[in-house]
């Protein structure tokens, strides 16, 4: 079979078909059109090895000599016992190639298994891969794993992935790639606080703006594994798969299983190049929200850290009025509005308005919010249930657990998490209950936005006595899909104890994520930077929290909190009535800046400078034509140096001249003097508060910063002259 070569935006995917298999011969930099005979790449055969070259197919198989992690694991249940067909020999039957995509069908006729592989290189250079396995035999086939992999070159020698915990999501860790398999397993039943949103492997020392990088993301909200493997023969793979429970997927004759989508990106300009490919893919979607899609991201005022469960309509309307005065455009009523909900121990599952708190329903609050010029949003947690709820009392069989009879016999339920259990959405009655209640809520109220939360892991998740995370995840997807179809104007946020469900699977049916329950601006600098390594800023909720953080106890000036929140979907989660007059003045100016520049923030190119001082960071957004940019210079700790020195402003047009000025904090801000430790500022800040230079100068020589105190920031704007 002839090779298949897909190319886009500086990326090439070359597929060849040695020994009847599909092999990714190259995924990386563009190869051009003049390609040699791929047979010339056939490797030698070393001593003490198989007598034929080992093919690393897109599904690595032992039948081809592969001795690493297999791409397909499973067997037929002949006579009710597993084992037959444990080692398939899938060979290519057909190749259907187009300009940007290819579908390859492979078959093992002896066993009765067919594999259909879909590969596409999107216009921005992002590769998407998925496999569908079909049982064409008579016996059931128990699937254990079906992985998606791409090869890595030998110069890709350093691994960066992300990990975290509640209120500290998406923090990077690095390691040298060694022989063996580096595996990140997620058994949370959701993506997980410690999940790696991005797994990147690159040339040694790759950075934000330098080095070659191959990176991947697995678009699945359930259990999963991500891995990097290096075999003794030097070959390397980057891959992922759904992590299936025992007997969770059994394919009867004619049935199929499709993997979640696996996305991979190549960049020869560091991690920023990887991010650019993901961001372009997001923004090309028909249902995307943001400036490029004509749906601007409104300024949010969320009530959680302002009032918690204290829901009184007069207080809430007063809070709404205070927020509207500052420039808020969307008011979100958080947890505590529904029947029996006075704290977090009761009420989940009963999605009806509490008649004691709201004798006239939510209508007076919604109308009051709308009259102030704001949209109304509401918090829900549809996948969970408290035992102290009407639905749990009426339908105990709808509660997830390892023992299908536990609800009637007093047997064991899973351990509680935040006093809650999980509704079995694979049960048609439970699914219909949730859909009908939310559908009625949206039909009867002018609700523009749902904050959709999921506050616990799906531990010991079973239905009818068998593991069912896979089906629960698909049921949750279907619930979101059908509610969106019924109410297409409603936007939905994915929140999961903060950032525990952030992935492209959930983002195919939601409009933003809540990156973390932590509103501490210092923590948010890292959380948002690495969340936005994959997600564009308009999809990442970023709020100005209280002066003293409710999750860390740190105190930060208003300018630092506002600058941090600007680089995302801006909002407030704070009783802004308690803000001082100078704080309100600075906050109102920040909101005005967000509105003025959100078209840039939500359509431009995200950039991150490489700085030698780990205490200092500089990131920003540059317009696609290079005419304008916003940058944040951030001191996250005390520097080892007395002066920061000139720092680069990356991503600008090297041939254009720019005027650079400070937007926040200004000399009028009450916290201005607290931001710096210096006798006098740099010369350019004493001479009209602006600096003019070429883009080449600003990136290669840089801009001399003032001496920032730890946990302070400077907002800069660069405009081409």
139, 517, 520, 671: which one is catalytic?
517
pLDDT at 679 over 90: no
Question: pLDDT tens for residues 330-379?
Answer: 999 999 999 999 999 999 999 999 999 999 999 999 999 999 999 999 99
Across 300-304, 478-482, 514-518, 641-645, least confident range = 641-645
pLDDT at 43: 86
Q: For residues 143 and 250, what is the distance between their CA atoms, to the nearest angstrom?
A: 6
Task: Please give the share of the chain, as a percent, with pLDDT higher than 90.
Answer: 88
Using H for helix, E for strand and C for coil, what is the string for 303-370?
Answer: CHHHHCCCCCHHHHHHHHHHHHHHCCCEEEECCCCECCCCCCCECCCCCCECCCCCCCCCHHHHHHHH
What structural domains and CATH numbers belong to the chain?
A: 4-32+54-283 (2.70.98.60), 607-720 (2.60.40.1180)
Model confidence, pTM: 0.97
Q: Which of 616, 630, 570, 501 is nearest to 329 (CA)?
A: 570
CA nearest 527: which of 640, 458, 449, 617? 617
Instruction: Look at 606-620, 624-638, 688-702 and tell me which has the smallest mean pLDDT.
Output: 688-702
Pairing of strands 11-16, 23-29: antiparallel
Closest alpha carbon to 323 in 341, 305, 349, 296: 305
Residue 293 has pLDDT above 80, yes or no: no
Minimal CA–CA distance to 622: which of 646, 642, 605? 605
HSE of 576, CA atoms in CB hemisphere, 13 A: 31
Q: How many CB atoms lie within 10 A of CB 455?
A: 21
Task: Report the run of H or E that residue 209 belongs to, with start and end.
Answer: none
CB 387 within 8 A of CB 429: no
The CA R_g of the chain, rounded to the nearest whole Å, is 27
User: Which pair of tokens denotes residue 87?
Assistant: 């080692």
pLDDT of residue 382: 98
Name the 3-class secondary structure at 674: helix
Cβ atoms of 102 and 127 within 8 Å: the answer is no
Q: Say which DSSP state 276 is in.
A: H
E strand residue ranges, 390-467: 421-422, 449-452, 462-463, 466-467
Cα diameter, the chain: 86
Spell out the residues 6+ positions from residue 422 whose beta carbon is closer than 8 angstroms to its own: 383, 384, 385, 399, 400, 414, 456, 458, 461, 472
Say whether pLDDT at 687 is over 70.
Answer: no
Average pLDDT value for residue range 283-307: 91
Task: Tell me the binding residues for substrate.
Answer: 166, 334-335, 418, 451-455, 495, 517
pLDDT of residue 404: 63
Condensed to tens digits (0 to 9), the pLDDT of residues 17-42 reads: 999 999 999 999 999 999 998 888 88
- DSSP-assigned letters across all residues of 585-622: HHHHHHHHHHHHHHHHHTTSEEEE---S-TTEEEEEEE
Residues annotated within the binding site are 166, 334-335, 418, 451-455, 495, 517
Quick one: pLDDT at residue 680?
85
* Average pLDDT, integer, range 687-700: 90
Distance CA 328, CA 317 (A): 13
Q: What are residue 475's phi and psi, to 5 degrees?
A: -65, -40
Whole-number pLDDT of residue 406: 62
pLDDT single digits (tens) 414-426: 999 999 999 999 9
Q: Which two tokens stand for residue 157?
A: 């020698």
What's the CA gap between 379 and 608, in Å, rounded? 33
The answer to whether residue 517 is catalytic is yes
Burial of residue 159, with CB atoms counted within 10 A of its CB: 0-12 exposed, 13-18 middle, 19 or more buried: buried
Q: Mind listing the pLDDT tens digit for each residue in 649-665?
A: 999 999 999 999 999 99
* Average pLDDT across the chain, whole number: 95
Q: Which of 108, 161, 354, 453 is catalytic?
A: 453
Which residue, among 154, 278, 272, has the nearest Cα to 204 in the 3D structure? 154
pLDDT of residue 670: 65
| Residue 150 · residue 239 · CB < 8 Å | yes
**CB-CB neighbours of 633 under 10 Å:** 25
């Amino acid at each position: 079979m002839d090779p298949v070569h897909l190319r886009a935006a500086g990326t090439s995917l070359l597929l060849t078909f040695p020994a009847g298999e599909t092999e990714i011969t190259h995924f990386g930099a563009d190869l051009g059109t003049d390609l040699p005979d791929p047979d010339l790449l056939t490797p030698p055969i070393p001593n003490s090895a198989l007598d034929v070259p080992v093919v690393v197919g897109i599904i690595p198989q032992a039948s081809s000599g592969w001795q690493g992690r297999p791409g397909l694991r499973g067997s037929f249940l002949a006579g009710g016992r597993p084992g037959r067909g444990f080692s398939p020999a899938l060979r290519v039957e057909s190749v259907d190639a187009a300009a940007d995509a290819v579908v390859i069908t492979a078959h093992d006729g002896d066993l009765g298994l067919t594999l259909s592989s879909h590969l596409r290189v999107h216009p921005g250079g992002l590769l998407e891969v998925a496999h569908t396995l079909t049982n064409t035999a008579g016996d059931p086939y128990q699937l254990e794993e079906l992985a998606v992999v791409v090869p890595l070159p030998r110069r890709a020698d350093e691994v960066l992935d992300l990990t975290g915990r509640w209120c500290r999501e998406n923090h990077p860790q690095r390691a040298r790639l060694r022989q063996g398999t580096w595996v990140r397993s997620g058994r949370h039943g959701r993506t997980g606080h410690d999940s790696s949103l991005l797994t990147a492997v690159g040339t040694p020392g790759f950075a934000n703006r330098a080095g070659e990088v191959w990176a991947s993301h697995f678009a699945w909200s359930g259990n999963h594994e991500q891995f990097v493997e290096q075999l003794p023969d030097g070959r390397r793979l980057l891959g992922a798969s759904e992590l299936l429970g025992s007997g969770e997927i059994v394919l009867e004759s004619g049935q199929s299983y499709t993997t979640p989508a696996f996305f991979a990106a190549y960049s020869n300009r560091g991690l920023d190049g990887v991010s650019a490919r993901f961001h372009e893919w997001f923004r090309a979607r028909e249902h995307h929200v943001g400036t490029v899609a004509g749906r601007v991201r409104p300024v949010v005022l969320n009530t959680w850290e302002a009032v918690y469960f204290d829901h009184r309509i007069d207080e809430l309307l007063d809070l709404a009025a205070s927020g509207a005065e500052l420039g808020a455009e969307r008011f979100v009523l958080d947890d505590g509005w529904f029947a029996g909900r006075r704290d977090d121990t009761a009420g989940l599952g009963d999605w009806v308005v509490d008649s004691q708190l709201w004798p006239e329903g939510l209508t007076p609050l919604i109308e009051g919010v709308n009259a102030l010029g704001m949209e109304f949003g509401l918090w829900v947690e549809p996948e969970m249930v408290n035992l102290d709820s009407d639905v749990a009392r009426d339908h105990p069989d709808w509660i997830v657990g390892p023992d299908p009879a536990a609800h009637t016999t007093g047997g064991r339920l899973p351990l509680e998490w935040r006093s809650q259990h999980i509704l079995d959405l694979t049960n048609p009655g439970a699914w219909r209950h949730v859909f009908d209640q939310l559908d009625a809520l949206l039909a009867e109220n002018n609700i523009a936005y749902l904050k959709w939360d999921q506050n616990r892991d799906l531990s010991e998740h079973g239905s009818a006595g068998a593991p069912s995370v896979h089906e629960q995840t698909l049921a949750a997807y279907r619930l979101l899909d059908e509610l969106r179809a019924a109410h297409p104007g409603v936007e939905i946020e994915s929140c999961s104890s903060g950032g525990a469900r952030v992935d492209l699977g959930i983002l195919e049916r939601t409009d933003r994520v809540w990156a973390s329950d932590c509103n501490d601006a210092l923590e948010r600098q890292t959380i948002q930077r690495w969340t936005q390594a994959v997600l564009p800023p308009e999809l990442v909720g970023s709020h100005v929290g209280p002066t003293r953080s409710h999750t860390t106890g740190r105190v930060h000036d208003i300018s630092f909190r506002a600058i941090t929140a600007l680089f995302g979907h801006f909002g407030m989660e704070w009783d802004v009535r308690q803000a001082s007059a100078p704080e309100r003045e600075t906050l109102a100016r920040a909101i005005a800046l967000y509105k003025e520049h959100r078209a840039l923030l939500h359509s431009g190119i995200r950039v991150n400078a490489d700085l030698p001082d780990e205490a200092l960071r500089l990131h920003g957004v540059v317009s696609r034509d290079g005419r304008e940019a916003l940058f944040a210079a951030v001191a996250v700790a005390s520097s080892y140096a007395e002066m920061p020195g000139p720092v680069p402003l990356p991503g600008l047009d090297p041939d254009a001249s720019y005027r650079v000025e400070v937007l926040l904090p200004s000399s009028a801000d009450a916290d201005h003097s607290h931001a710096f430790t210096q006798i006098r500022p740099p010369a350019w800040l004493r001479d009209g508060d602006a600096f003019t230079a070429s883009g080449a100068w600003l990136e290669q020589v840089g801009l001399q910063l003032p001496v920032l105190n730890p946990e302070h920031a400077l907002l800069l704007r660069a405009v081409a002259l």
